[in-house]
Amino acid sequence: MSQLVLDRNARLLLQAKAHHLDPVVLLGGNGLTEAVIKEVDRALTAHGLIKVKVPSDDREERTAIFEELADKLGAAKITQIGKLLVLFRPIPEKEETEETPKVKKAAPAAARKTGAKARNNRKRLTEMIQNKNKEAKSLPWAKTVKKGKTPKGQVKAVGAKGKTLGSRLASKNKGISEE
């Protein structure tokens, strides 16, 4: 295979995309082997744009590896910065064969209804709580605590003097802070 040649603007765009990538393939002490070439080929097929790290200190050797990878794999050389090489090859489109099962798409979810259903559920719960409170008034311990209704229709515990239980604690705390 021969190298893929890109124009300057395409290379600059791919270089910007590759900036945040981490190296996918790291060459070992043996240098460029068939296993490394297969791994780079697999990574190019999966990702399209990859970084390869070459640990060699010799600049000419790194350039030779870069050239050889681009030639053997039909990839475009994007950039070489230090020990990092950036390669690009377009991801091939998958062809559908008869062997691959076709996946059915899920039906779109039904649109959510307005809040009428939730409002009816709240009303029903409030009525159930109020009915339980009528039964509970006959119990001896229920005389000390009254139940009152809030503006939203929810039941709230009220103390013997008609104040909500939370407000009594707040008023006690205010008295302490004022003194």
Question: pLDDT in tens for each of the 179 residues of the chain?
Answer: 778 888 999 999 999 999 999 999 998 888 889 999 999 999 999 999 999 999 888 999 999 999 999 999 999 999 999 999 999 999 888 765 556 666 666 666 655 455 777 777 778 878 878 777 666 555 554 444 445 555 555 555 555 565 555 555 555 555 554 44
Q: How far apart are the first and last CA of the chain?
A: 89
Contact between 32 and 69 (Cβ < 8 Å): yes
All structural domains of the chain: 8-88 (3.30.110.60), 117-178 (no CATH)
Task: Give the residues across from 149 on adjacent strands.
Answer: 155
Helices (H), 25-143: 34-47, 59-73, 116-136
pTM score of the predicted model: 0.52
The tokens describing 16, both together, are 């910007």
Of 66, 70, 110, 112, nearest in space to 89 by CA: 70
